[in-house]
């Protein structure tokens, strides 16, 4: 235990040359009980060690992080805590009691909502995915105190999801890990029940691409899919026609559609806030894509809010949810009769059901098969180069090349589904 005369200069030397391994503690010779813990990353934390009057062993309470608390402020906090201890108090015990009381009052529904409002929405473009994956845990644990959820509860829930949808089980696992870690970091919970738990399902890289007969069967089924809304059917078609991400298609807004009646310059401008790369993306609209958007807008003229392109049936949201496309596509394929034209393709669709993202991959593969250059395919898909030049300097939109690529694909697609 190193006892030192702490000064500002000494502390600067610690953070500029942190320990090679392990956490090192430095105790202030002028303020009994004040300790600075320094990690190999140079991060420091102030703590105070004391012994309560009621006979308990030594206790330690965290005062704050080094980058948030100066030496003088840390010493002042120790003096305040020491007065409380001399009066019979136990600062750390009282803090634990407050946390425990708060965690007992906090239901899982309440915790999930706080996570969405305070963390997911401000920090994640995909927060609606988090909201969707939390529905099963909320249905299972909603009114229960979040602090009472055990590791066995988490395993049972994830295994139940895995039996129906292995990938969804892993995505739910990821969201729950983030949620519980956030709750512990924010002192809403004392511990996470999911720490160290391995994913419950094994995933393989997705390579599903629809064959031309499969495209024809699926397109024709979407034209008259019973039980599927026109908005969901048209959104699925647009993914296949334009190759954009399912979430971007589902969340399309009317304000993003530019010159929709112009056969030469019609385009869809997706803002940076709605793209995975955080970079605005312009999609030229070939005739089939333009007509699908027009058809959706004609429905909004009757029942729309003037903002969304594809409207949700739920009043709590304006646009359809990303997972509505997955559920809709799954229902269409489940109801697909095996007998009929292209029977082999029908069987293939039912035996290996594609996802909405597979429709995007199908376009990408189809463009390659049709001889569209790699740079133009990447431009259509909004895949940018990973180097500094590609990310920050190359701002050329390749609109002409993207339009040519999408027209080439649409002509192939139209010949298939006519």
pLDDT at residue 108, as a whole number: 96
List phi, psi (to 5°) of 26.
-125, 125
Bridge-partner residues for 49, per DSSP? 60
Range with the lowest mean pLDDT among 50-64, 182-196, 200-214, 313-327? 313-327
Please check the confidence at residue 303 and state whether its pLDDT lies above 70.
no
pTM score above 0.85: no
Please check the confidence at residue 260 and state whether its pLDDT lies above 80.
yes
Spell out the residues 6+ positions from residue 315 whose beta carbon is closer than 8 angstroms to its own. Answer: none
Contact 106, 98 (CB under 8 A): no
Is residue 83 exposed (0-12), middle (13-18) or buried (19+ Cβ within 10 Å)?
exposed
Q: How confident is the model at residue 37 (pLDDT cuts 50, 70, 90)?
A: very high
Q: Do the strands 59-65 and 257-258 form a parallel or antiparallel pair, or are they unpaired? A: unpaired
Average confidence (pLDDT) over 315-344? 85
Q: Which long-range contacts (CB under 8 A, 24 or more apart) does 70-76 make?
A: 70/8, 71/6, 71/7, 71/8, 71/11, 74/34, 74/36, 74/46, 75/28, 75/30, 75/31, 75/34
Average confidence (pLDDT) over 70-74? 93
Residue bearing tokens 């706080």: 114
Q: Which domains does the chain have, with CATH numbers?
A: 2-91 (3.30.160.390), 106-185 (1.10.150.130), 212-417 (1.10.443.10)
pLDDT at residue 100, as a whole number: 67
* 384/378 Cα distance (integer angstroms): 7
233: left (phi over 0), alpha (psi -120 to 50) or beta: alpha
Query: According to the per-residue pLDDT averaged within each range, which of 84-98, 147-161, 181-195, 377-391 is highest?
Result: 147-161
- Cα distances (Å, whole numbers) of residue 343 to 349, 362, 390: 10, 20, 45
Average confidence (pLDDT) over 68-88? 90
- Give residue-wise pLDDT tens across range 334-371: 888 888 788 899 999 988 899 999 999 999 999 999 99
DSSP secondary structure, 187-237, as one string: TS-S--TTTTPPPSS----------HHHHHHHHHHHHT-TTS-HHHHHHHH
What's the mean per-residue pLDDT of the chain? 88
Share of the chain above pLDDT 90, in %: 54
Please check the confidence at residue 42 and state whether its pLDDT lies above 50.
yes
Please check the confidence at residue 226 and state whether its pLDDT lies above 70.
no
Range with the lowest mean pLDDT among 95-104, 170-179, 193-202, 206-215? 95-104
Query: According to the per-residue pLDDT averaged within each range, which of 221-225, 256-260, 394-398 is highest?
Result: 256-260
């Amino acid at each position: 235990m190193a006892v030192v005369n702490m000064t500002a200069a000494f502390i600067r030397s610690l953070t500029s040359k942190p320990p090679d391994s392990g956490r090192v503690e430095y105790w202030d010779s002028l303020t009994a009980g004040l300790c600075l813990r320094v990690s190999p990353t140079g991060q420091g934390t102030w703590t105070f060690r004391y012994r309560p009057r009621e006979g308990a062993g030594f206790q330690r309470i965290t005062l704050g992080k080094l980058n948030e608390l100066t030496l003088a402020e840390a010493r002042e906090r120790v003096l305040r805590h020491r007065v409380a201890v001399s009066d019979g108090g136990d600062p750390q015990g009282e803090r634990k009691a407050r946390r425990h009381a708060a965690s007992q009052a906090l239901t899982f529904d309440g915790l999930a909502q706080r996570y969405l409002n305070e963390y997911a929405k401000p920090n994640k473009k995909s927060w609606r995915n988090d909201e969707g994956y939390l529905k099963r845990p909320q249905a299972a644990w909603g009114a229960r105190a979040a602090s009472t959820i055990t590791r066995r509860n988490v395993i049972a829930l994830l295994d139940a999801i895995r039996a129906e949808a292995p990938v969804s089980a892993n995505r739910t696992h990821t969201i729950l890990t983030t949620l519980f870690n956030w709750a512990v970091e924010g002192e809403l919970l004392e511990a996470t029940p999911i720490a160290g738990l391995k994913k419950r399902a094994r995933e393989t890289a997705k390579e599903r691409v629809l064959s031309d007969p499969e495209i024809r069967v699926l397109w024709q089924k979407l034209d008259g899919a019973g039980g599927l809304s026109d908005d969901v059917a048209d959104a699925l078609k647009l993914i296949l026609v334009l190759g954009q991400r399912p979430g971007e298609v589902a969340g399309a807004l009317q304000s993003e559609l530019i010159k929709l009646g112009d056969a030469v310059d019609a385009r869809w401008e997706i803002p940076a806030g709605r793209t995975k790369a955080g970079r605005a993306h312009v999609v030229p609209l070939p005739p089939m894509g333009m007509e699908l958007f027009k058809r959706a807008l004609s429905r909004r003229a009757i029942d729309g809010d003037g903002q969304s392109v594809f409207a949700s049936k739920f009043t709590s949201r304006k646009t359809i949810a990303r997972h509505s496309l997955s559920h809709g596509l799954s229902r269409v394929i489940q109801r697909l009769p095996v007998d009929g034209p292209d029977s082999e393709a029908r069987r293939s669709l039912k035996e290996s059901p594609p996802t909405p993202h597979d429709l995007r991959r199908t376009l990408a593969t189809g463009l390659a098969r049709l001889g569209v250059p790699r740079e133009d395919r990447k431009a259509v898909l909004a895949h940018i180069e990973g180097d500094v030049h590609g990310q920050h300097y190359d701002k050329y939109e390749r609109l002409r090349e993207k339009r040519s690529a999408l027209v080439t694909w649409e002509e192939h697609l139209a010949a298939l589904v006519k």
